C-alpha cells in the first residue's frame, strides 16, 4: 500500500513538474482583428507564427478571436502580447495598456482608403463625391470597430449629408467583416456598403467578385490604417530589446507568400503618433470617448 502511494506520488510529481515547465516557458501569443473569413485568417497567421518563432527564437502562437472588441480585450488582459490591429482598434488597445507601441505597418497602410460599393440595381456609377442618390438606400458597414469598414466611411457620410447614417439610409447594418460586406452587396441583400480597397482588390484579382453585379462608386481620401502593436511590458517579459527584435523581424519579412496573404508588399516602421488622425475622427463621431 505504502509503496503504491509512493509510486503514485512520484508519477504525479513528474506530471506536475512537466506541466509547470510547459506553463512557465514564455510563449509570445498574438491575435488579429477578424476582418476576413476565419479560415483565411488562420491560414495567414499560422505562417506568421512560424516565421516569428524562427526569427525570435521563442515559441509563438496565434489565437483567433471572434470580434474586434475581443482582440482589444485580449491585448488589454495580456492574453496576447502582439496584435495586428486596424487603425481604430489599435488606438483603443494601446490606450488601455501603458507604454504599448505601434511598431510596423504595411507599406499600403501609410495611405489606406475605403470604397463605397453598390449593387447594380441602384444604377449608381463611380463619382468624385458621395451622390445624393444614396439617400434612402440600404447600407452595410463591416464591423462596428472597423477603421476602414466603419469609422472612415461614417465620417465622410456624415460630412457629405450632415446627418448620421441612420438618418441617411433606410436600413443600416454591420456585416462583421469586409468579405461578408462584399457578398451581401453582391447578392443585393444590401444595396450599398463600405469595404477596404485591399480586400476589394484581392477578391477581384482572385476572380471572386461578380463585377456585373457590384461596383465601386466612391473612394475615400487616404488615411493610416493597419499596424502591428506590442504591449508596453513585452521587454520586461521576454527580455531587454525584445520589442526592437519583433519590429525588425516584421520589417525583414520578405516571403512573398506571407506578404501576399495580407496582402501587403512589405512592412515599414511606424509609431503611435501616425494614428492621431484616427483618434481625432473617432472622438468626433463618438466611437472613442
Q: Encode pLDDT of 222-271 as tens digits.
A: 999 999 999 999 999 999 999 999 999 999 999 999 998 888 999 999 99
Range of lowest pLDDT (10-14, 203-207, 257-261) = 10-14
Residue 13: is its pLDDT beyond 50?
no
Residue 190's contacts (CB-CB under 8 Å, 6 or more residues apart) are: 119, 138, 139, 140, 171, 173, 175, 181, 184
Name the residue with cell 460599393. 117
Residue 5: is its pLDDT beyond 50?
no
pLDDT score of 289: 78
Considering the chain, what is the average pLDDT of its residues? 90
Q: What's the rounded mean pLDDT across residues 94-123?
A: 97
pLDDT score of 12: 38
The sign of the CA dihedral 126, 130, 133, 136 is positive
Quote the CA–CA distance of 70 and 125 in Å, as a whole number: 37
pLDDT band at residue 26 using 50, 70 and 90 as cut-offs: confident
pLDDT score of 286: 87
How do the domains of the chain map onto residue ranges?
Answer: 25-110+224-284, 114-219
- Rounded to two decimals, the pTM is 0.81
**Residue 155 CB coordination number (10 Å):** 18
Full DSSP string of 236-260: HHH-TTHHHHHHHHHHT---HHHHH
The sign of the CA dihedral 12, 15, 19, 24 is positive
Quote the CA–CA distance of 125 and 55 in Å, as a whole number: 48
Instruction: Encode pLDDT of 142-183 as tens digits.
Output: 999 899 999 999 999 999 999 999 999 999 999 999 999 999
Q: In 3-state terms, what secondary structure has residue 17?
A: helix
Q: What's the rounded mean pLDDT across residues 197-218?
A: 96
Burial of 63 from C-beta contacts in 10 A (0-12 / 13-18 / 19+): middle
DSSP type of residue 112: B
Q: Which three three-digit cell numbers place residue 6?
A: 509512493
Tell me what percent of the residues of the chain surpass a pLDDT of 90. 82
Per CATH, which fold does 25-110+224-284 belong to?
A: D-Maltodextrin-Binding Protein; domain 2 (3.40.190)
Q: Do domains 25-110+224-284 and 114-219 have the same CATH topology?
A: yes
Quote the CA–CA distance of 253 and 248 in Å, as a whole number: 9
Instruction: Encode pLDDT of 109-135 as tens digits.
Output: 999 999 999 999 999 999 999 999 999
Residue 197's contacts (CB-CB under 8 Å, 6 or more residues apart) are: 112, 113, 114, 115, 148, 219
Residue 93: is its pLDDT beyond 50?
yes
253-258-261 Cα angle (round to 5):
135
pLDDT score of 11: 40
Tell me what percent of the residues of the chain surpass a pLDDT of 70. 91
Per CATH, which fold does 114-219 belong to?
A: D-Maltodextrin-Binding Protein; domain 2 (3.40.190)
Helix (H) or strand (E) holding 182: helix 178-187
Q: What's the rounded mean pLDDT across residues 271-283?
A: 93
pLDDT score of 288: 85
Quote the CA–CA distance of 69 and 112 in Å, as a whole number: 22
pLDDT band at residue 38 using 50, 70 and 90 as cut-offs: confident
ω into residue 245 within 30 of 0, thus cis?
no
Q: Which three three-digit cell numbers place residue 98?
A: 501603458
Full DSSP string of 36-83: S-HHHHHHHHHHHHHHHHHHHTSEEEE---SSHHHHHHHHHTTS-SEE
Amino acid at each position: 500500500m505504502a509503496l503504491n502511494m509512493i509510486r503514485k506520488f512520484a508519477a504525479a510529481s513528474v506530471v506536475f513538474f512537466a506541466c509547470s515547465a510547459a506553463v512557465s516557458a514564455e510563449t509570445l501569443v498574438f491575435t488579429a482583428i477578424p476582418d476576413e473569413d476565419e479560415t483565411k485568417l488562420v491560414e495567414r497567421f499560422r505562417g506568421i507564427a512560424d516565421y516569428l518563432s524562427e526569427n525570435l527564437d521563442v515559441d509563438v502562437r496565434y489565437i483567433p478571436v471572434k470580434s474586434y472588441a475581443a482582440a482589444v480585450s485580449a491585448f488589454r488582459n495580456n492574453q496576447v502580447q502582439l496584435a495586428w490591429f486596424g487603425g481604430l482598434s489599435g488606438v483603443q488597445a494601446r490606450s488601455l495598456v501603458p507604454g504599448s507601441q505601434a511598431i510596423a505597418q504595411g507599406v499600403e497602410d501609410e495611405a489606406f482608403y475605403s470604397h463605397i460599393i453598390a449593387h447594380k440595381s441602384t444604377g449608381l456609377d463611380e463619382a468624385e463625391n458621395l451622390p445624393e442618390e444614396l439617400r434612402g438606400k440600404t447600407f452595410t458597414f463591416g464591423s462596428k470597430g472597423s477603421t476602414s469598414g466603419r469609422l472612415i466611411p461614417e465620417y465622410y457620410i456624415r460630412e457629405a449629408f450632415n446627418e448620421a447614417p441612420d438618418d441617411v439610409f433606410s436600413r443600416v447594418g454591420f456585416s462583421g467583416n469586409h468579405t461578408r460586406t462584399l457578398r451581401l452587396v453582391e447578392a443585393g441583400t444590401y444595396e450599398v456598403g463600405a469595404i477596404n480597397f485591399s480586400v476589394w482588390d484581392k477578391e477581384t484579382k482572385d476572380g471572386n467578385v461578380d463585377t456585373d453585379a457590384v461596383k465601386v462608386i466612391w473612394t475615400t481620401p487616404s488615411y493610416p490604417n493597419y499596424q502591428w502593436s506590442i504591449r508596453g511590458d513585452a521587454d520586461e517579459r521576454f527580455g531587454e530589446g525584445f520589442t526592437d527584435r519583433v519590429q525588425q523581424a516584421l520589417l525583414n519579412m520578405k516571403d512573398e507568400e506571407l506578404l501576399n496573404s495580407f496582402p501587403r508588399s512589405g512592412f515599414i516602421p511606424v509609431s503611435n503618433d501616425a494614428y492621431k488622425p484616427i483618434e481625432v475622427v473617432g472622438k468626433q463621431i463618438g466611437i472613442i470617448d
